[in-house]
Amino acid sequence: MRRLATGKMPIEVLNRTVLHMTGVPSRRLVAGPKAGVDFAAIRVPGGYMIVSSDPVTGVAEGIGSYAVNVSANDVATSGIRPQFVGSVVLLPEGSTEEDLRVVARDMDRAAKKLGISIVGGHTEVTPGLKRPIVAVTTFSFGRRFVSSDMAKEGDAILMTKTAGLEGTAVLASELGKSGRRLPATLLKRSRGLERSISVVDEAVRAFRTGSVHAMHDCTEGGVLGATYEMSLASGLGFELWENRIPVASATREMCRKLGLDPLKLIGSGSLLIATAQRNKERVRRAVRRTTLVTEVGRFTKRGRHLYTGDGRRRVVSAAPEDELWRTLARSA
């Protein structure tokens, strides 16, 4: 039997295994496990509980901050501000108390910045690990929500910030320690992008306009992967316009030196927003108060296409393998 590749599980594998093994059905589960959807929604008195779990495995430096932000982003794509976090911290053998203190400190700082309470979890030193793993469950409560499977045919696709933010920062951190020769100025600029990986504020601002149909953050597979997942979950096609997708200079330089595609690089910090054409300017005005927002495509009835910078139309038949995992594997 073929071994699974490193990284996020392919959608077809999830559909064959995990997604039909979900325990006892519940009428309170309004939005349950589904490929391309960021969270679950559970009916509670007065509204809904939104909950999402995510691990951080590909980075050691700043892992506590990444873990809180990445999981909080998933909840925020509902339009509801995340409120509570539970965590599981697994440290490799040989870790020190100071190592644990750094992880806890970074989680604390990130949670305070986002207005989140850390409610508990589990911490241990685990045999066999090469690097720490932090898995976070974030949850919150609200009266209404949107999810990534609610996009509609004809919706504009708006994108916040720039492509490949998280991947650029992680590559700078990991490759900088590996002895890979990259310019010091590039490493510094790239690491600085870690400060931009939260989408909470822009997601909440967009949702409050009342004009958002769906949202999805750009995690593994980058902008291209997130658009594919969003279209698959919503039963739609898409047109994505490469020459309109903003890419930070540090990301562009990092990808050029490493031979990577920034559209396929993990991009926490960038949010996709689906909104009707007549409402896109209202959403853009609201989000622009917080960060850059760009129209990068539209959802269609069928067909998934990337229009490349040279004008060619390329069919997107599957979610792409993330460039981060491929690069880290080569440098290991």
Band of pLDDT at residue 257, cut at 50, 70 and 90: very high
* pLDDT for res 328: 74
245, 187: one domain: yes
CATH number of the domain where residue 281 is located? 3.90.650.10
Q: Say if residue 163 is in the same domain as residue 288.
A: yes
Region 181-200: what's the mean pLDDT? 92
**Length of the chain, in residues:** 332
54: nearest Cα among 139, 137, 169? 137
pLDDT at site 15: 86
Q: Are 179 and 310 within one domain?
A: yes
Question: Domain tally for the chain?
Answer: 2
- Pick the closest to residue 142 from 204, 210, 49 (CA basis): 49
Looking at residue 179, what is its pLDDT? 55
226: which residues sit within 8 A by CB, 6+ positions away? 216, 217, 218, 219, 267, 270, 272
Assigned domain for 228 exists? yes
pLDDT, mean of residues 229-248: 97
Residue range 249-257: mean pLDDT, rounded: 96
Among residues 109, 142, 175, the one where a domain terminates is: 142
Predicted local distance difference test score (pLDDT) of residue 177: 67
136/79 same-domain check? yes
Residue 191 pLDDT class (50, 70, 90 cuts): very high
Average pLDDT, the chain: 94
Cβ(193)–Cβ(254) under 8 Å?
no
Residues 46 and 99 in one domain: yes
Tell me if 16 is assigned to some domain: no
Same domain, residue pair 239 and 276? yes
pLDDT band at 180 (very low <50, low <70, confident <90, very high): low
Distance in angstroms (rounded) separating the CA atoms of residues 285 and 277:
14
* Residues in CB range of 216: below 8 A, 6 or more apart: 36, 38, 77, 148, 226, 229, 230, 271, 272
Are residues 187 and 249 part of one domain? Answer: yes
**Residue range of the domain that includes 85:** 27-142
- 41, β-bridge pairs: 31, 50
The arithmetic mean of pLDDT across residues 287-295, rounded, is: 96
Both tokens assigned to 255:
């990808």
200 with 267, same domain?
yes
4 lies in some domain: no
pLDDT at 331: 62
Joined together, the tokens standing for residue 156 give 């504009």
- Asked whether residue 118 falls in the same domain as residue 199, the answer is no
Answer with the one of 85, 112, 142 that is the final residue of a domain: 142
Mention every residue, 6+ apart, whose C-beta is less than 8 A from residue 22. Answer: 32, 33
pLDDT digits (tens, 9 = 90+) for 101-157: 999 999 999 999 999 999 999 999 999 998 999 999 999 999 999 999 999 999 999
Q: Mean per-residue pLDDT for 65-70?
A: 96
Does the pLDDT value for residue 7 go beyond 90?
no
pLDDT at 332 exceeding the cut of 60:
no
Are residue 186 and residue 127 in the same domain, yes or no?
A: no
3 belongs to a structural domain: no
Instruction: For residue 125, give the CATH number of its domain.
Output: 3.30.1330.10
Domain boundary among 91, 115, 142: 142
Which tens digit of pLDDT belongs to each residue from 237-246?
A: 999 999 999 9
- pLDDT for res 59: 80
The pTM of the full predicted model, rounded to 2 decimals, is: 0.94
Residue 19 domain-assigned (yes or no): no
For residue 329, pLDDT over 80 is answered with no
- Shared domain check, 250 and 202: yes
Average pLDDT over residues 6-29: 88
Percent of the chain with pLDDT over 70: 97
Specify the DSSP class assigned to residue 242.
Answer: G
Same domain, 195 and 301: yes
